[in-house]
Amino acid sequence: MSDPDLRGALTLAEYAPGEAAVLSDAERWPTLDAAGAARLRRWRTHSDAPHWTHATGDRLTAAQAGRVRHPLSTDDWLAEHLGAVRRTLRYRGMPTDAVLGDYPTISRGDLVDDLAAFVPLDADLSRMLHGTSSGSTGAALLIPDDVEEVARGFHLLTALAAAAGAQVTPDGERLAVANLVFQRQAFTYVSVISSFGHRAMARLNLHPSAWADVAARDRFLADADPQILSGHPTSLAELLDGGLDSVLHPSVIFSGAMALSAPLRARLEAAFGCPVIDVYGLHETRPVAARVDDGPFRILDRRVHVEVLDPKDDVAVPEGTVGEIVVTAGENPLLPLVRYRTGDYGRLMRFDDGTLGIADLEGRQNTRFRAADGSLVPCVELTQQLQAHGAQGWSVDQSADGRVRAVIVGGDDDGIRTALDALLSSPIDLHRVERLADLGEGKPRRYRSAVAD
């Protein structure tokens, strides 16, 4: 099959440019001024612009733009949140005196089966956007997003940056933020941020398929020079592998969606000379916790409550014990979640100042490998060894007969092979690829095991 034929066979209609454009610019940005309109034209028609697939705006009125610059109050938020939850079809039978622990846990499957049951009956649907969450385990969701909550997310980033010593303020015609992905097809667009002086932002796909050529990609990014770079480890690593560290000067970098390895963080910090903030959260829950180093994640001071429960029931495990992370999330008024099982695993701990954190976070699965002697080895132990020997990314699979195949990016082959051999008491089939992107598009799972646990 020729390349054009291959591209045609793989093309998805939802990624076709303009496939679902329904709003005018005046509707997308009610407060858009002349300078903001000029920025939109500049980046939409830039000679090296990517193949934009979508057009989207924040839809903020002047009053809303003022509100989103500030976080929601957390005073007595949980009682207010449970009141909103009882106005959904799912929970309308819950007594008014029910406390958090009285509510059963839910999972992604519950949202897939009947998402509307989790939207308050008195929700203001005129404020609704919709966002797609593909998930790491299948079943896609169209999530009702609130315009103010989405816009407030940018100001959360600037607040986290400030706490890490990086100030982000409007800076000429630079992009305020570039959200980066690396995949064959993706939603891409340019927009302006009404609550940030109508400065431009963009969602960019670094994959070569999104650009006329790689040189155009490099020229566009050099011209845009975003103040904030946000992406997952695969797209952030592409900046380094593509030599873009020579033309970009971010004030701060945010990583999310996938686990950020310590060696990759070190590379990013050395190349860009700015804080690298690792954010943990899901589209459904919004950001939950963050860290500025390779230690535990600090739970954010916002409308979020974290429990760590036994994966088989709704019972909390002792503090410091690994279990499933369960989140009650009250930032999005269109989808107030109570005790949402994330499918991620870690242990709850306390920092010296008494605030809560999540340690030993292994997103998306609590995989255990069976060693040759029959013992079970948790995946966090593999993570520790892989990072210690310099791996920036990896995928480790155990087949039903117990054989283990590991694919790594970076690191010391001999050291990794020796460490994994010792952990699992058997030889490892070890392979190397050059880039994180070579592990697979999207969010490749780091660990799989087909043996009985």
Per-residue pLDDT for 10 more than 50?
no
The residue from 343, 362, 381 where one domain ends is 362
From the list 324, 292, 283, the residue with the least C-alpha distance to 307 is: 324
Quick check: helix, strand or coil at residue 380?
helix
The pLDDT tens digits of the residues spanning 295-312 come to 999 999 999 999 999 988
Asked if 258 and 394 count as a contact pair (C-beta separation under 8 A), the reply is no
Tokens representing 274 are 């700015």
pLDDT of residue 296: 95
Name beta bridge partners: 252: 228
User: What is the rounded average pLDDT of the residues 181-189?
Assistant: 80
The pLDDT confidence band at residue 193, using thresholds 50, 70 and 90, is very high
For residue 252, pLDDT over 80 is answered with: yes
Whether 235 and 382 map to the same domain: the answer is: no
Q: What integer pLDDT is reported at residue 278 of this predicted model? A: 95
Under the banding of pLDDT at 50, 70 and 90, the label for residue 1 is: very low
Q: Are 412 and 437 in contact (CB under 8 A)?
A: no
pLDDT in tens, 64-85: 999 999 999 999 999 999 999 9
Which of 313, 329, 362 is the C-terminal boundary of a domain? 362
- What per-residue confidence (pLDDT) applies to 97? 94
Give yes or no for residue 171 having a pLDDT over 90: yes
E strands in 260-403: 276-282, 286-291, 297-299, 304-309, 322-329, 337-350, 356-362, 368-370, 376-378, 393-398
Determine the average pLDDT of the residues in 121-128.
93
Residue span of the structural domain in which 13 resides:
3-362
The fraction of the chain above a pLDDT of 90, given in percent, is: 61
Residues 416 and 351 placed together within one structural domain of the fold: no
Q: How confident is the model at residue 29 (pLDDT cuts 50, 70, 90)?
A: very high
> Any idea what DSSP says for residue 392?
S
Co-location of 292 and 392 in the same domain: no
Give the per-residue pLDDT at 227: 98
Let me know: does 182 contact 234? Beta carbons within 8 Å.
Answer: yes
What is the largest distance, in Å, between two alpha-carbon atoms of the chain?
70
237/140 same-domain check? yes
pLDDT at 313 over 60: yes
Give the total number of structural domains in the chain.
2
Average pLDDT, the chain: 88
Whether the predicted pLDDT of 383 surpasses 80: no
Q: At what angle do helices 379-388 and 413-424 cross, to 10 degrees?
A: 160
Region 121-141 average pLDDT? 71
Q: What is the pLDDT of residues 326-349, one digit of tens each?
A: 999 999 999 999 999 998 889 999
Pick from 247, 254, 250: nearest CA to 273: 250
Find the CATH number of the domain harbouring 18: 3.40.50.12780
Confidence (pLDDT) at 443: 52
- Reported in sequence order, the residue ranges of 109-249 that DSSP labels E, i.e. its strands, are 128-133, 141-146, 177-181, 189-193, 199-205, 228-231
CATH of the domain at 439: 3.30.300.30
Residues 67, 42 share a domain = yes
Q: Which of 169-178, 179-188, 354-363, 374-383 has the highest mean pLDDT?
A: 169-178
Task: Give yes or no: residues 262 and 208 share one domain.
Answer: yes
Burial 225-250 (b: 16+ CB within 10 A, else e): bbbbbbbbbbbbbbbbbbebbeebeb
| 89 and 139 together in one domain | yes
Tokens in use for 435? 């880039």
Q: How far from each other are the two terminal CA atoms of the chain, in whole angstroms?
A: 42
Give the burial string for 166-188 (b: 16+ CB within 10 Å, else e): bebeeeeebbbbbbbbbbbbbbb
Compute the half-sphere exposure of residue 410: CA atoms within 13 Å on the CB side of its CA. Answer: 21
Burial of 321 (C-beta count, 10 Å sphere; 0-12/13-18/19+)? exposed
The answer to whether residue 20 scores a pLDDT higher than 60 is no
Which of these three, 332, 362, 392, is where a domain ends? 362
| Residue 443 near residue 256, CB atoms below 8 Å | no
Cα within 13 Å of Cα(66), Cβ side = 2
Structure confidence at residue 13 (pLDDT): 54
Same-domain pairing of 395 and 325: no
